[in-house]
Chain A
Amino acid sequence: MIQLEHISKRFGDQKIIHDLSLHIPAYETVILIGPSGCGKSTLLRLMIGLLLPNEGKVSLFQEELTLDNVESMRQKVGFVLQDGGLFPHLTASQNIRLMANYLERDSAWIRSRLADLSELSHISDNLLERYPHELSGGQVQRVALMRALMLDPDILFLDEPLGALDPLHRVALQEDMKIIFSQLEKTVVMVTHDMGEAASLADKIVLMREGRIIQYDTMSKLASEPTDPFVLEFINAQRKPWQYLEDQIK
């Protein structure tokens, strides 16, 4: 579904991605994870054509991503940013319907699609009529997710969608997302730096450091068969509070 072949990306003198290849099969949820500055967000933007690689090629649906087809390709994928990226001058419902209206989809289809997504995302009708600044952080992310799903894309890209939420909303949305992804049968690529989130959602995890992939595997394989000392180091660094308390008692 998504194919990266020997891609490199530089910003000025700084090399962010080093000769990286990766294949993500259809219907899998893949998490890009790693410490800050490892290039995971850059990699995500390369996949959607928001950035173009200096070397190598990116293909979606077996078709190479180029400047000519990038707009039509983007219409076949969904994208959610950390802060939602909702347009402040439009209501939640206008945000969600924007692209469908622009492509002049049938209005009955738009209405029913909106209703389905509202139910799935737990967004009520009165919330839909609000402007982004009148919504909570969790609601904004749910609306952004609905906007990304509106045209029923095959691939969904998410850049730390839960990053700005408080822990309670975070867990609630994480659980809902899990249901949505499996119900709608999407290929999902999501960036996070939270190992717990990755473990809960991912079929496979791409662990990155300094622009390279360290290991691309399931969570259990990462824990049981690490290919590099950094893998365990990264997993163990993500302690839970109760673990911390246990350590104190010992």
Chain B
Amino acid sequence: MIMFRKLVWMVLLGLLPLVLSAVSDNTIRVGSKKFTESVILGEIITQHLQSNGIKAIHQDQLGGTRLLWKALLQGEIHIYPDYSGTIIHEILQSQNIDSMAELRTALDAFGISMIDPLGFNNTYALGVTQAVAHRYHLNNISDLLRHPELRFGFTNEFMDREDGWPSLRDYYQLPQKKVRGLDHDLAYKGLESGSIDLMDLYSTDAEIAYYKLHILADDQNHFPEYQAVVLYRSDLEQEVPEISTVIGELSGLFSDSIMTNLNSGVKIDGNTEAQVAQNFLQHNFKTTTSIQMSTIFDRLLQSTREHLFLVLLSLGAAILVAIPLGIWGSKNPTTGQIILSVVGVIQTIPSLALLVFMIPLLGIGGPPALVALFLYSLLPIVRNTLTGLKDIPQDIRESALALGLPKMARLRLVELPLATRSILAGIKTSAVINVGTATLGALIGAGGYGQAILTGIRLDDTSLILEGAIPAAALALLVQWLFDLVEHFFLSPGLKNSQELSS
């Protein structure tokens, strides 16, 4: 037990430089949302900055609009692409912004600047398969009024956006009740398999042509314009004065069909966003940016490093906090109940919600993911420490007391060693859960095996999903095996047979 703790400390100290280097990084961070078009735009911005000699990195597919906006305000990212309609209705929630000039003024109040539009309008649209359109005679959104039985599948963001499903429903008085939220890329699958009849689309989605989808006309003009723009922090101009000029060069370079082609280059032709961005910039600026083609081993090494960093640091901290909490709780039933309730409640917070809560406090990337994982790791260790100590038979406690051992010595020499098996089991449970939960860290830019899973889902690429899922499962097994080994070497032979302990 003592040696094991030393080992944990050594690992934690070894990881310290990694944390510090992550904090002191001062390159420009470009963010993008969790869908292909945003990732392509983020990549184009990043490579364009780099080819102009500005240090920039791309933190891709961070999450949804609110997360990106918060991260921008916090300075966690400096630049990201968004759409005028989204900014007005979702972020500012304003009814009276009618021009780009008014929008620019409104953003100025937040210390955010905006370049002129990129040149394409990626509006929301509702799409059905040709077969469904034919069967129900669907051409306009108004036609949906006649078919309340139709099943809708919308992105979660569309489900509760101010300009999304709620206002669309009220605007057209749509009667449909079978409406559920799901991932955008999975919705195409659902549409194809017939488990939903209608989904929301981005008008520049490459899949519209690929799946030959029929788009319902917005005959009563509900959806606003979604002009693509680039947002950046105004204070960036102090550090990089040429920033507005460089980013501004991208204005007007796009059209609806150009963007659809770029999307299709990734989603249908299977190129990487980096390649597509490189070709685009080469075509427009005659510049060649060098993009690093990563092999599967590079990626695995990188994501393993990130994943281990998350797991080891958060688990190590959880062990150091949870064991004392468990000890404290075992001394007094009321305290124990309170501690267990608190860590139990933490466990019930959905992981995505917890990650988003952390962003205003800790920004994006490693720190919020570490804190969330740390919090999730507490319960099993606290509970097992507490029960392990409470289950020590009365006669054993009494003889430790009767020997005249002081409190701390009883804990160190008798009680903790007797609870070792239970505590180790708690740590093992935490570690396995932690390895799994850490894949969600990719949603807020912490990397790890989740990155490949996330990209795989977005690109509908099973091999990419497996590239994240298999190592994650293997790591979970490895962790389990490692703890069995620890138990084998550190548990007293007198405790190996638990029947003897309880008799």
Are A91 and B494 in contact (CB-based, < 8 A)?
yes
Name the interface residues of A118-155: CB closer than 8 Å to any CB of B.
131-133, 144, 147
**A98 proximity list for chain B (CB < 8 A):** 403, 413
Q: Size of chain B's interface in residues, with CB distance under 8 A?
A: 25
* Residues in A67-123 with C-beta less than 8 Å from chain B: 71-76, 79, 81-91, 98-99, 102
Q: A50 within 8 Å of B by Cβ?
A: yes
- 0/1 string, B468-503, CB within 8 A of A gives 1: 000000000000000000000000111101001101
CB-defined contacts of A147 to chain B, threshold 8 Å: 403
How long is the Cα–Cα vector from A157 to B399 in the complex, in angstroms?
Answer: 12
B30 at the interface (CB under 8 A from A): no
Residue B414 contacts which of A72, A81, A87 (CB distance < 8 angstroms)? A87
The reply to whether B401 and A50 contact each other, CB–CB distance below 8 Å, is yes
Minimum CB distance partner of B414 in chain A: A87
Q: Any chain B CB within 8 A of the CB of A48?
A: yes
| Chain A positions within 8 Å of B493 at CB level | 131
B404–A88 CB distance below 8 A: no
Interface members, chain B 87-130 (any A CB < 8 Å) = none
Q: Choose from B401, B402, B418, B503 the contact partner of A89 (Cβ within 8 Å).
A: B418
Q: Is B405 an interface position by the 8 A CB rule?
A: yes
Instruction: Please determine whether B404 and A74 come into contact, CB atoms closer than 8 angstroms.
Output: yes
Q: From known contacts A81-B395, A131-B494, infer whether A88 and B401 are also in contact, taking CB-CB under 8 Å.
A: no
Provide the residues of chain A in CB contact with B420, threshold 8 Å. Answer: 89
Chain B residue with Cβ nearest A45: B398
A88: contacting residue among B402, B413, B494, CB under 8 A: B494
Using known A-B contacts A85-B399, A88-B418, A133-B500, determine if residue A75 contacts B404 with beta carbons closer than 8 Å.
yes
Give every chain A residue within 8 A of B414 (Cβ-Cβ). 87
| Across-interface contacts of A50 in B (CB, < 8 A) | 398, 401-402
Chain B residues with CB under 8 Å of A133's CB are: 494, 497, 500, 503
Q: What are the 6 closest A-B residue pairs judged by CB atoms, nearest first? A: A85-B399, A74-B404, A133-B500, A131-B494, A79-B402, A75-B404
Some 29 contacts from A to B, beta carbons below 8 A apart, are: A50-B398, A50-B401, A50-B402, A71-B405, A71-B406, A73-B404, A74-B402, A75-B403, A75-B404, A82-B395, A85-B396, A85-B398, A87-B396, A87-B417, A87-B494, A88-B396, A88-B418, A88-B495, A89-B417, A89-B420, A89-B494, A90-B494, A102-B413, A131-B492, A132-B500, A133-B494, A133-B497, A133-B500, A147-B403
Given contacts A71-B406, A81-B398, A144-B399, 7 further A-B contacts (CB under 8 A): A74-B401, A75-B404, A81-B399, A85-B399, A98-B403, A99-B404, A133-B503
**Chain A interface residues (CB < 8 Å from chain B):** 48, 50, 71-76, 79, 81-91, 98-99, 102, 131-133, 144, 147, 157
